[in-house]
Structure 1
Amino acid sequence: MKLAIFQPVTIILLAFLLLVVSVPTVAQRSTDWPRESPPPPLPAKEATFPHYEIRNLDNGLQVVLVKHHEQPAVNLRLMIGAGSASDPEGKSGVAALTGQLLAQGTTDLGATEIAEKVDAVGGVLDVGAGTELSFVNVLVMTDSFEFGIDFVGDIARNPSFTQAEIDRQRQQVLSGLRVSYDDPGYLAGVVFGRLVYGEHPYGMPPNGTPESVQQITRDDLQAFHNAYYAPNNALLAVVGDIDVDEAFLEVERVFGDWAQKAMPAVREMEMLQPAHRVVVVDKPGSLQTAIRVGHVALPRVSPDYQAFDVAIKILGGEGGNRLGSVLRTERSLTYSASADFVSRRFGGDFMGKTETRSAATAEVLRLMVDEVARLRGERVSPRELENAQAYLAGSFPLAIETPNAIAAQVLESLLYGLDLDDLPRYPNRINQLTVNDIQQVTQMHLQPESLSIVLVGEASAFLSDLQAAGFKDVEVMSIEDLDLESVDF
């Protein structure tokens, strides 16, 4: 009788097959794993807003002084009440370029000297402009406070605007715009701004366009600075490891001789009413479509601001995000989806946004519009509201954790004329909102039938699908023909 002789390789294969048969698969075993909901959030940490004082110089400069001794540092934030919304007509980008150039030279210091002086004291310098403000921020250690206050005064009051630095910064802006114009997300955002705000200054690209930036002259920059950089159009926050009285004396020393100016008339233009438009910017070769959906919304001082902000958080923000749940978790149509609410002095906007593969564009857009309609038409669940409240109230201590963050909170309130007493009460005001409050503001301020919609991608890949998804009147424009400063955009 012959015995079967197995080669070593054969033995190994048999052993492997037995192992595969005898061990359940991962999918099989996973069905036996316990399933539990995530643990509830920890109780919100009690937040104590630091004591602050507001004093005024004779020239109109408002000074906010906040003692915060947890770190041996002082944050100085000078805020000017003019930004891109105050750009001269036809020259968007003036405020932004003016802000950039503040750190590129004063009448006494060159750009290199400014950088070296900041580095020598271990400080941080930040300059720039937003929509309604321009700023100079300096963070220094406590023993460099006198240097810091002198530094802020010099940079804000005495910019040199040398032609060489203007040309250098202009080229940096143009280079950045070239990169941005190749980004579907950037294009979708600026086109959305034009649709929502029309000719209102809020809708103009804050950094300008290649055409407008090329036209900005040294005279434009000096004129903007001379018109708006004045003590009666400024706020200064001094926050950190300071003695309030000594700090105020230093502010008087540096800014007391800053002369008041008559401010230019504010261009108060009416906000557009929400109007339904679907605009496709054709970007051939794009593998994804950037989608933006929304319309004009409330000014910052609106009594409905807080409740509407929470509603948009439920739609697509922290502590909620229905858009993310539907588009990513349930349908795997995108990596991320969100919604933002921006509110300014005269108005604001809410915007849902995502990016998806071209073939899924119509489906994703339909789902986003339906979620906006659902937020208006159906009450949010108590659990959704509680989650949003827990996040917002629970994260408030982080918003006042550093001198820089404290200064930002106080200055924003002063800029928009808000009640400063409401700052420490923020968690309580959030937690007092009810499901009825959310329903009331969504029914009053959301208009799903009047959404402005922007799609940037390869139009041929999804245009026919849009019709089938219920989007009939679609405007298509080539990326080469895109004129962001056109009056009749």
Structure 2
Amino acid sequence: MTASLLHAPRLHRTVLANGLTLLVLENPVADIISARIFIRAGSAFETPADAGLVSFLMGLLTKGTESLSSMDIAEAVESVGASLGTDATTDYSVISLKTVAADFEDIFSLAADLLRRPSFPEAEIDLEQRLTLQQIRSMQEQPFTVAFNELRQAMYGSHPYALSSVGTEASVAAFTQDSLRAFHRQHFRPDNLVVTVVGRISPEAAVAQVERTLGDWAVPTTPPPTLQFPTVTPPHTRLPLFQDTNQAIVMVGYDGASVQHPAYAALKLLNTYLGNGLSSRLFVELREKRGLAYDVSAFYPTRLGQSQFVAYIGTAPGNAATALEGLRFEVERLRETLLTEDELQAAKNKLLGQYALGKQTNAQLAQLLGWYEILGLGVEFDQQFPDLINAVTALDAEAVAQAFFRDPTIVLLGPEATIAPLVP
């Protein structure tokens, strides 16, 4: 076991003998402890045939273990006012918990049991399948979701990021206890874990707790699964989706950089400038000044693999052509228009202010530190990120815009009479 202190005496990093990484941040201010158990297994490991498996599996972790029923688990958590939940993303999965310090040992032991010994009861699988199928069908009635699913699939092609996180009706219906157990056996292993504990607990006590519950977990003889992402070449085309809606959805998707790419910080800053909040460029120009938008924004997800930079607008169907022109103009003008010093500094202040506000609670800190570690950036990235943002110049932003904001993939959803003329 190796240990070290990072940045401050309160932050303690430990690697157990079985390869599990533990980060502990002691914060005695409130009698609360938050913890996360990150698993280096997200939907990026799925194929079209088993799309949605990771999300489905994580939802079932709280439905039973070898010794506890779903009711036993719920009562153990609710009886002490704690919280315990799960989530799955493209690049990782996570078990989250929060409790008062006196109950941390019991609730963390329960979380470790869910992690190591889920039973995947057949009755719970059947129920989860019915609920997930209902969710998939409901999503097909949501214009924004339909448009984004089409954009994501078009941009990513055979890349696993193209897949829906909840799967398809065919893939979900095919999930079995055996397929869930096989994925769990392959990916849920101590050397694939990062555990974060933040709150009123000493590093020594946290290490002892994790050692008791997870330290005896043997490492398999085979190495953990790794990903080899295929090269992505977006089609740079216009895709029509005809729906008789009262609102047209226009989306433009540009190639985006991975979190480890040199352009990451500049793209985050441009995303803030273009689409973050009521003072953003897209909101002011397209909604406030031109009255084109019911909703307008941009997003740029942080990804281990190649990301995407997406700008979108919801508008009256008759305004779809003008909205598309305006959306592309506002994004692509940055290829040849330098941000002013005031614009650049305002975007930096907004982004870094929101970043600081996202680190106020034990739960937020446990999430952030574990997220950086599981992505391979290390907790040092928490200190590096503000420096990277502050270092971006107007010329840097323009160069990144020139490299990324060209030849978008476009999705247009709305009534055929207004959308069809916009597609060559």
Please indicate, yes or no, whether the TM-score normalized by the shorter chain is above 0.5: yes
User: Does the 8 A contact of 1:81 with 1:132 survive in 2?
Assistant: yes
Which deviates the most, 210-219 or 98-107? Answer: 210-219
Aligned partners of 2:371 and 2:400: how far apart in 1? 23
Aligned partners of 1:226 and 1:422: how far apart in 2? 31
Question: Are 1:454 and 2:411 counterparts?
Answer: yes
Any idea what SS the aligned residue of 2:19 has? coil
Question: Are 1:412 and 2:371 counterparts?
Answer: yes
Any idea what SS the aligned residue of 2:49 has? coil
Q: Which amino acid aligns with 1:292?
A: M
Question: Are 1:113 and 2:72 counterparts?
Answer: yes
Structure 2's unaligned 5+ residue stretches are 1-6
Q: How far 1:216 sits from its partner (Å)?
A: 1.4
Any idea what SS the aligned residue of 1:453 has? strand
Question: Are 1:279 and 2:239 counterparts?
Answer: yes
- Identify the residue that residue 88 of structure 2 maps to in structure 1: 129
- Identify the residue that residue 218 of structure 1 maps to in structure 2: 177
Q: How far 1:266 sits from its partner (Å)?
A: 2.9
Aligned partners of 1:188 and 1:49: how far apart in 2? 46
Q: 1:408/1:119 Cα in 2 relative to 1: closer, same or farther (>3 Å)?
A: same
Q: 1:429/1:320 Cα in 2 relative to 1: closer, same or farther (>3 Å)?
A: farther
Any idea what SS the aligned residue of 2:124 has? helix
Identical columns (%): 29
Q: How far 1:97 sits from its partner (Å)?
A: 0.5
With structure 1 as the length reference, what TM-score do the two structures score? 0.82
Aligned partners of 2:391 and 2:159: how far apart in 1? 35
Q: How far 1:303 sits from its partner (Å)?
A: 2.1
Q: How far 1:50 sits from its partner (Å)?
A: 8.2
Q: 1:186 aligns with which of 138, 145, 152?
A: 145
Q: 2:14 aligns with which of 47, 55, 73?
A: 55
Any idea what SS the aligned residue of 1:302 has? coil
User: Does the 8 A contact of 1:191 with 1:454 survive in 2?
Assistant: yes
Q: 1:76/1:265 Cα in 2 relative to 1: closer, same or farther (>3 Å)?
A: closer
Q: How far 1:54 sits from its partner (Å)?
A: 0.9
Aligned partners of 1:446 and 1:389: how far apart in 2? 20
Q: 1:247/1:216 Cα in 2 relative to 1: closer, same or farther (>3 Å)?
A: same
Alignment of 1:11-410 (within 5 A): 51-261=10-220, 262-263=222-223, 265-283=225-243, 285-318=244-277, 321-410=280-369
Q: Which amino acid aligns with 1:451?
A: P
Any idea what SS the aligned residue of 1:342 has? coil
Aligned-residue CA RMSD (Å): 1.8
Aligned partners of 1:58 and 1:443: how far apart in 2? 47
Any idea what SS the aligned residue of 1:102 has? helix
Any idea what SS the aligned residue of 1:128 has? strand
Aligned partners of 1:278 and 1:189: how far apart in 2? 13
Q: 1:319/1:408 Cα in 2 relative to 1: closer, same or farther (>3 Å)?
A: farther
User: Does the 8 A contact of 1:197 with 1:296 survive in 2?
Assistant: no
Aligned partners of 2:398 and 2:323: how far apart in 1? 25
Aligned partners of 1:267 and 1:405: how far apart in 2? 28
With structure 2 as the length reference, what TM-score do the two structures score? 0.94
Q: Which amino acid aligns with 2:394?
A: V
Aligned partners of 2:346 and 2:130: how far apart in 1? 46
Aligned partners of 1:355 and 1:113: how far apart in 2? 45
Q: How far 1:351 sits from its partner (Å)?
A: 0.5
C-alpha offsets along residues 8-63 of structure 1, whole Å, 9 cap, x if unaligned? Answer: xxxxxxxxxxxxxxxxxxxxxxxxxxxxxxxxxxxxxxxx9883111011111000
Aligned partners of 1:422 and 1:264: how far apart in 2? 24
Q: How far 1:319 sits from its partner (Å)?
A: 8.1
Instruction: List, as ranges, runs of 4+ consecutive aligned residues in structure 1 with deviation greater than 4 Å.
Output: none
Structure 1's unaligned 5+ residue stretches are 1-47, 467-471, 474-489
Aligned partners of 2:18 and 2:408: how far apart in 1? 45
- Identify the residue that residue 13 of structure 1 maps to in structure 2: none
Q: How far 1:218 sits from its partner (Å)?
A: 1.5
Any idea what SS the aligned residue of 1:126 has? strand
Q: Which amino acid aligns with 2:237?
A: R
C-alpha offsets along residues 353-410 of structure 1, whole Å, 9 cap, x if unaligned? Answer: 1211111111111111111210112111222111111112223331211111111221
C-alpha offsets along residues 96-150 of structure 1, whole Å, 9 cap, x if unaligned? Answer: 1000000111111111111111111110111121111111111110011111220
Q: How far 1:343 sits from its partner (Å)?
A: 2.7
- Identify the residue that residue 486 of structure 1 maps to in structure 2: none
Aligned partners of 1:89 and 1:316: how far apart in 2? 32
Q: Which amino acid aligns with 1:56?
A: V
Any idea what SS the aligned residue of 1:107 has? coil
Any idea what SS the aligned residue of 1:373 has? helix
Aligned partners of 1:246 and 1:190: how far apart in 2? 45
- Identify the residue that residue 391 of structure 2 maps to in structure 1: 432
Any idea what SS the aligned residue of 1:167 has? helix
Q: Which amino acid aligns with 2:66?
A: T
User: Does the 8 A contact of 2:250 with 2:410 survive in 1?
Assistant: yes
Q: How far 1:420 sits from its partner (Å)?
A: 2.7
